[in-house]
Structure 1
Amino acid sequence: MNKQPVLQPVQSLNRRPQPNKLFRRIWKDRYLILIGLPGLLYFLIYRYAPMAGLYMAFIDFSPFQGIRGSPWVGLMHFRRIFEDPEILRVLWNTLTISFLQIAFAFPVPILLALMLNELRSQVYKRIIQSVVYLPHFLSWVVVIGICVVFLKGDGLINNLTQQWFGWDSVPYLTNPDYFKPIVVLQVIWKEAGWGTIIFLAALAGVNPQLYEAAVMDGANRFRQIWHITLPAIRSTIVILLILRLGSVLDSGFEQIFLMLNPFNMDTGNVLDTYVFHKGIQQSDYSFATAVGLFKGTVGLVLVVFANFLAKRFGEEGVY
């Protein structure tokens, strides 16, 4: 009995790799690529390219010897971070200010967005939005200048309290106890309105029929907010909270630096200003680079951990 030859499957010509397929897709999406190109270049130039300078954290950098001529010291500068007695106080100040901002400044845009969403007059709503957005476009130099005018010894606040209540002048700017509350209030005033944009965009996607059904069931305004509005923006809140945790060691250099003075240095000196004093004023570039790398590593770990917890609780997370 003759055996039939086994026929080998013939691959279709359409399955062959096409060298110009990638170029066709690029040409097809050329306008989308052009739109995203500035953002891509920004991250490549200002975010990824400077990472080459992290090599300085592992050498004893000297401007006269250069990066290649400076001796390799390994993890010596990272050991200095934990051996420096000042770093514990600076780290405590940084964490305290960051968690105060998360606890008090982070919920404010959510509450503001909920209140704006309840307004029925569109004209009044737009006026309020414009007013609360405006401080975001002011630089920290202007914000701190306004704060100094209001809170200095002979400023507006002290003059009003002396005239109305007969109180003594309060040194708001030099008393260390007032430093952290003032910093948090400044962040709320400057950024709360801008933060509402994301939450208002999320609220715009809520189905109006859900509110109509809730009204038919007898739910009042607070019940509608609790059972419809807040669950609709819960994933947005979680994502923004995860991203905020990634910058928990970044308290904002400009704001803190402009608020510091010899009287509140012990309370207000954070990692950003500490790196500035070490790296720029004392020319300890390698140690300042090591501290910056330490900040980035801690932020990455917090983002990964917070994203893991968010997924365990059924949320989408960042990735």
Structure 2
Amino acid sequence: MSKIKRRPAANAAGENKRPLLVSIYYYRGFYMMFLPVLVFAVIFHYLPMFGIRLAFYSYKGIKDPLFIGLANFEKMINMPGFWSAFGNTITLSVTKLLLNTFMGVVLSLMLNELRSLIFKKFSQTVVYLPHFMSWVVTASVFTLILSPTSAGLVNSILMKLGIVNDGIYFLGNQNWWRPIFYIINIWKDTGWGTIIFMATLSGISPELYEAASMDGAGRWNQMRYITLPGLSNTIITVLILNLAKVMNLFESVFVLQNDAVVQKADVLQTYIYTQTFNSGALPDYGYTTAVGLTSSLVGCFLVLICNKASHKVRGRGIV
């Protein structure tokens, strides 16, 4: 009877004790695949971090920077435009995040209830498509739809119904700009956000619904006691991850704002852009770097706070 040769356990354990250079050479194929990602991260994420030092310098034009300590931060605190942009950033970002998450959950629940697989796939495709439109195209489309003249679809309908006599300039009215901004963001991003929630719903065991149905639970009670608790961890995770981007609001605001609504629409990133390129004076890159650094620190603080709350609510966080 032939003996089966087994690999000695000592050799298998010995692989973990290879010298570092030998181990890298042994797995060289994996490191080669990882190398482009590493180079990209170093060039576009880590090297620019050295520019943070400009926040402590006065740097105008191409002359040598002058070290001024915390003077840029003192200037920032005393600038009314900064505080206005800061408040707008928090308000717009947090409201947009909550509305998009809520609508994403609602939409995913509605799609999950569809019985026709063909219609379900078609509906998913339709609600996902707006995500692939650039914000420039989206702004152009809604500018036409919301045009204050009779050529605008919304104003045309309102005039025909006799609700208004003159067209409303929705994107140029301080009272209307924010609601319109939220609606456009919901239309564009909600469908894409449902992908995560739909994946979670597909992972909920059908046996739970069957057991609940046998106990006499209707669709609403099944949704209340099975579906929503099953989604809770995913909802919290999505909120925490998106909080990291709260202070980075720029493109969607930049393409929709104008001088008439700048008081309600100016956010930190557009404030930095204006101070750098449209201030009418020689840009102070040190000051705008200080504003950007403050924005990043606030975003990091919000994520840590939300992660701490996650520890309290569900016993664990994601950081």
Q: Normalised by the shorter chain, which TM-score bucket?
A: 0.7 to 0.9
Match of 1:296 in 2: 296
**Secondary structure of 2:277's aligned partner:** helix
- Which residue, out of 227, 230, 233, partners 1:235? 233
Q: Residue 259 of structure 1: SS of its match in structure 2?
A: coil
Task: Tell me, yes or no, if the aligned pair for 1:98 and 1:248 is still in contact at 8 Å.
Answer: yes
Question: Which TM-score applies when normalising by structure 2?
Answer: 0.88
In percent, how many aligned pairs have the same letter? 35
1:267-282 matches, cutoff 5 A: 267-282=264-279
Select between 187-196 and 42-51 the one with higher mean Cα deviation.
42-51
Select 1:105's aligned residue among 100, 109, 127: 100
**Separation in structure 1 between the aligned mates of residue 163 and residue 26 of structure 2, nearest angstrom:** 74
- Secondary structure of the 1:170 match is coil
Question: Would you say the 8 A contact 2:101–2:235 is kept in 1?
Answer: no
Give the equivalent residue in structure 1 for 2:214. Answer: 216
Provide the C-alpha distance between the structure 2 equivalents of 1:24 and 1:236, rounded to a whole number of angstroms.
40
- Structure 2 residue aligned with 1:135: 130
Alignment TM-score, normalising by the size of structure 1: 0.88
Q: Write the distance in 2 (CA, Å) between the matches of 1:240 and 1:41.
A: 28
Q: Aligned partners of 1:124, 1:313: CA distance in 2, in Å? A: 37
Gaps of 5+ in 1: 1-11
Q: Following the alignment from structure 1 to structure 2, what is the Cα–Cα distance between the partners of residues 311 and 178?
A: 38
Distance 2:160 2:32 in 1: 61
The answer for the alignment partner of 2:5 in structure 1 is: none
Q: Shift in Å at residue 166 of structure 1?
A: 5.4
What amino acid is aligned across from residue 301 of structure 2 in structure 1?
A: V
Residue 165 to residue 34, structure 1, CA distance change in 2 (3 Å) = farther
Q: Give 1:8's aligned residue.
A: none
The counterpart of 2:247, out of the listed 227, 249, 255, is 249
1:296 shift after superposition = 0.6
Deviation at 1:191, TM superposition (A): 0.3
Deviations 1:217-272 (CA, angstroms, capped at 9, x unpaired): 11111111111111112111111111222222232x12211222221111111111
- Cα deviation for residue 314 of structure 1 reads 2.0
Q: How far 1:199 sits from its partner (Å)?
A: 0.8
Alignment partner of 2:179 out of 178, 181, 192: 181
Letter in structure 2 aligned against 1:201: A
**Gaps in structure 2 of 5+ consecutive residues:** 1-9
CA distance in 2, matches of 1:212, 1:175: 52
Q: Which of 145, 154, 157 does residue 160 from structure 1 map onto? A: 157
Q: CA deviation at 1:36?
A: 5.4
Report the residue type matching 2:161 in the other structure.
W
**RMSD between aligned alpha carbons?**
2.1
CA shift for structure 1 position 156: 1.2
Distance (Å, rounded) in 1 between the aligned partners of 2:96 and 2:196: 18
Letter matched to residue 129 of structure 1: Q
SS in structure 1 at match of 2:260: coil
- The 3-state SS of whatever aligns with 1:120 is coil
Task: Tell me how many residue pairs correspond in the alignment.
Answer: 301
